[in-house]
Amino acid sequence: MTAVIGQRFHCPPVVLLSLLAGGLMLPLALAPVPLNDSHWINLTWSEQFTALMRHGVIWPRWLPWSHDGLGAPVFYFYGPVAFWAAGLLGLIGLGTWPSLLGAAFVGLACSGIAMHAFLRGYSKRPLLGAAFYMAAPYHLLDFARRGALAEFTAITLLPLVAIGIRRAVRGRPAILAAGYAMLIMAHLPIALLASIFLIPMVSLVEDGANKIGITRIVAGLVLGIGIAAAYLLPALVLQPFTAMLTMQGAPLLRPANWTVATFFHGGVPGLLLLAAIVLALAVTAAILLAKRWDAWGIFVLGMLGLGLGLFPPVWRIPPLDHVQFPWRILSLAEFGTAVLVARSHLARPQLLLACFLPLLLSTLVLEASLTAIGTTSSGATRQMQSLLRHHPDVVEYLPSGHGESGGSQSVWALKLAARTPQVQYADGMTTLRRFVFPIWRIRCASGLIPSTASQDGLLRYRGQGCAIEQTKPLAEQLGLAISLAALLLTLLTAVRPPIAWIHAIGRRARMPAESRL
């Protein structure tokens, strides 16, 4: 489809959607560097991730400069996809914040382009649906206000998974496998929500409810899980070595306690804005459903009901009790609303009026995001320099038994780093200025020796002057092997039709001439 501007100028949708992405990201590009919410941790992670990529480490799982040099196993557990994107931009010369902003711009543009590809041939106005998906309020809130780059990237990948389901039903599961693997490795909670709610919905509307269709979709999803095993297996197996339980957060925000009343709790900022987004999307869906029945409308209202806390028992069901923040389901509601917009039979002025409230909130989100930054350019520069000098990190990646409460940033670890020398030797034991984790191997003159943890969770061993080597734990090695096998199998499914075509030509060439007539 080509969008027509005037009567002589034809502009491809990919250009229009990229321009829209640039316009939506422009306010952040012109503002001081944001350090609120998760923006600060994106900066310290991305700076290390890119530096390690520059030294040839394709997947930097251990960040050595976190906690002022004590280190942290961040990307054994946190999805790397968004930081690969930022890292690639960093490798071509962009600074840390411009790389993050560039990754967000690419993600936002790709979300619209992928949504347009999914809606094309399936709806009346795919370009409007794609534009709505890009400019939807929670989508923008995710990065602009919350700094949730990984979740923002996962929202980008939802349309790719939907396209993959469509292709899988037709016998080609490779796109589904790749998209699902990227979704898992971008943000596991969004992948979990999509697996339970969005993927079944898309499968039904793509006529995948028959046995063959279901089998093909399941095959694509299994291949995707296999490709993501290099991330999934270590992330699941190595959690006991960290303070991961500190991610539970405030009791009010835990899924099991999520109700309508949560939104009106004065102690948690931003929840009223989320409630407004829920109501705005509900109004839009109701207007579009009043004109024409659509199963996607029921899907949207269901997702909004769950996000609003109308069905609290649902969030107590495993594994939904591990999504951490139930409001993440708004990303699925916005996906469904974008489909409704594209499929609507309303006249364009009426359709734009139906979308007025969500788009108004998107404008307020961008304005509120700039207000939340709340610092001058020089002040932001000083704070950023401090961040990139000491690399503070979050508490959940501290060694087991050393979690903190009262904030996401580990103040204890920074104080520990400030008073700890690089090497301490006492009573026959050497203690290193490095947190313990099962990736370290101690090699002395006599061979490999075991290591232990100090009272503060630092790496120590009996002896002196030994070499410290970084290794891959068994879970990582096994995960990589599974991923390579699944990736090879996926590639074989992708080239199977051409191979079958070549074999058919070969069989025809071997037939007698009279048989080919």
Residues 6+ apart with CB under 8 A from 139: 108, 111, 133, 152, 155, 331, 334
Q: Are 472 and 438 in contact (CB under 8 A)?
A: no
- Residue 38: helix, strand or coil by DSSP? coil
Res 381: pLDDT: 66
**pLDDT band at residue 505 using 50, 70 and 90 as cut-offs:** very low
pLDDT tens-digit readout, 361-393: 999 888 877 665 555 455 566 777 788 889 999
Nearest CA-CA partner of 103 in 43, 31, 179, 13: 43
Residues 6+ apart with CB under 8 A from 506: none
Taking the alpha carbons at both ends of the chain, their separation in whole angstroms is: 41
- Residue 333: helix, strand or coil by DSSP? helix
Q: Are 77 and 244 in contact (CB under 8 A)?
A: yes
Question: For residue 37, with 0-12 CB atoms within 10 Å meaning exposed, 13-18 middle and 19 or more buried, which class applies?
Answer: middle
Res 517: pLDDT: 41
Peptide bond into 349 cis (omega under 30): no
Q: How much is the mean pLDDT over the chain? A: 89
Give residue 71's identity as a one-letter amino acid code.
Answer: G
Q: Which two tokens stand for residue 202?
A: 């898309």
pLDDT tens-digit readout, 197-246: 999 999 998 766 678 889 999 999 999 999 999 999 999 999 999 998 77
Tokens 């108004």 belong to residue: 360
The count of other CB atoms within 10 Å of the CB of residue 251 is 8
Res 122: pLDDT: 82
In the sheet that holds 423-426, the strands lie side by side as 423-426, 429-435, 458-462, 452-453
Mean of pLDDT values over 146-161: 96
**pLDDT band at residue 5 using 50, 70 and 90 as cut-offs:** very low
- Total residues found in the chain within this entry: 517
The count of other CB atoms within 10 Å of the CB of residue 214 is 14
pLDDT tens-digit readout, 420-433: 999 999 999 999 99
Tokens 């990303």 belong to residue: 331
Mean of pLDDT values over 49-76: 97
pLDDT tens-digit readout, 90-116: 999 999 999 999 999 999 999 999 999
**pLDDT band at residue 259 using 50, 70 and 90 as cut-offs:** confident
Q: Are 149 and 82 in contact (CB under 8 A)?
A: yes
pTM, to two decimals: 0.91
Tell me: pLDDT of 162 over 60: yes
- Residue 83: helix, strand or coil by DSSP? helix
Q: Are 455 and 424 in contact (CB under 8 A)?
A: no
Res 6: pLDDT: 40
Q: Are 132 and 355 in contact (CB under 8 A)?
A: yes
The count of other CB atoms within 10 Å of the CB of residue 280 is 22
Beta bridge partners of 382: none
Tell me: pLDDT of 457 over 50: yes
